[in-house]
Amino acid sequence: MSKHATGTRTGSEQALAVYLELRARPASATAFDDVADGLGLSADDRLRCRAELATLGLIDPAPDAPSAPDAPSALETTRSPQAVVEPDIALVRLLQHERDRLEHRLAETSRAQATLATLAGPFLRAARAGAAPRSEIDVEVVADPARVRQELAALTDAVRTSVHSMHTGSVRREDLAAELARDRALGGRGVRVHAMYSRRISSVPDMAQHLEERVALGVEIRLSPVVPMNMVLADENFALLPTDPHDPDSATILARGPGLVRSYLALYTYCWQAAGRYGDVDKPERGGDGLSEQQRAALRMLAAGIKDEQIAKNLGVSLRTVSRLLSEVMHELGAASRFEAGVKAARIGLLDGEGDA
């Protein structure tokens, strides 16, 4: 390819051309700058291509310039073989990275809730007793379920623009009719209602019918493999939260004030974007319960980006056996490709807590 032809490419097209050429070469002879020279890339173009491919996770980042006196020069370092990552492996790594970010944020939220519960107890009462100036945030811990239902009823009359809720499990039968009544009242006033549920509840007949009735009333519903806690948010000014996300019978926090509620709304929005629209998934994903330890080990190494040859060495089996193991994993997870198997494994938690293979 001539330098002039290469120069007519956009930045992304140049990066794609470099990546395809890197993949076409044997690993022992793959050097980034050799490929860039062959494509006639300028110094600025090759830096941009390297940065773009590294950001996408398709190649390992360029090594740092050596500091030892007898180490090779930076130019010689860039002529060393370049590690190339398959696109499906890069996508699986990105998915796992995003999952880790969400889990970290949920952990921070749990710690914030514990602090909030403490502040809402003796400290808040002491401040009120001392006639301290009232802040814009009002927090109250309520242990009486009847009081919580009263607050929800009052919220239905007061909300103006939007209600966002998430539910870790099924709604109690005695509360189903009341929830539909609130939906009718809110919809009649043009209030936007979003509701998020755990995906497993769609297989419960009563809940499946309830979700259909809510959708018919104009509620937008999404299902997620993981719902961190029960939550109700309204108008960026009201939040109803559990004091313990892991205990559905724990006392409830009633919080008012945008300074606090907006933080929970940001968490809700993140979970909402990661959830699937109700009705898009016709059947629940397989859980991988039938996988053997050997199959699980092969799956974890695949998700970590390890090649089949190294998986075979680690397991002490042949390449043919590795191919068979991964085919069995795909069948068990209902996946059409290795990438889809990795995505489903991460989504249903098969890769949680395993660390690097």
Say which amino acid occupies 163.
Answer: V
Quick one: which of 309, 299, 294 has its CA closest to 96?
299
* Cβ neighbour number for residue 188 with a 10 Å cutoff: 10
pLDDT in tens, 162-191: 999 988 877 778 888 888 988 898 988 899
At 348, the pLDDT band (50, 70, 90 cuts) reads confident
Q: How far apart are CA 167 and CA 142, in angstroms?
A: 19
In the predicted structure, residue 91 carries a pLDDT above the cut 70: yes
How much is the pLDDT for 220?
92
Chain center to CA of 170: 23
Q: Cα-atom radius of gyration of the chain, to the nearest Å?
A: 27
Given a contact cutoff of 8 angstroms between Cβ atoms, the answer to whether 9 and 42 are in contact is: no
pLDDT in tens, 109-149: 878 777 777 666 666 655 555 544 444 678 888 888 888 88
Q: Which two tokens stand for residue 343?
A: 């995505």
Residues 6+ apart with CB under 8 A from 10: none
pTM score, two decimals? 0.45
Q: Which two tokens stand for residue 21?
A: 């050429």
Quick one: which of 166, 164, 162, 152 has its CA closest to 106?
166
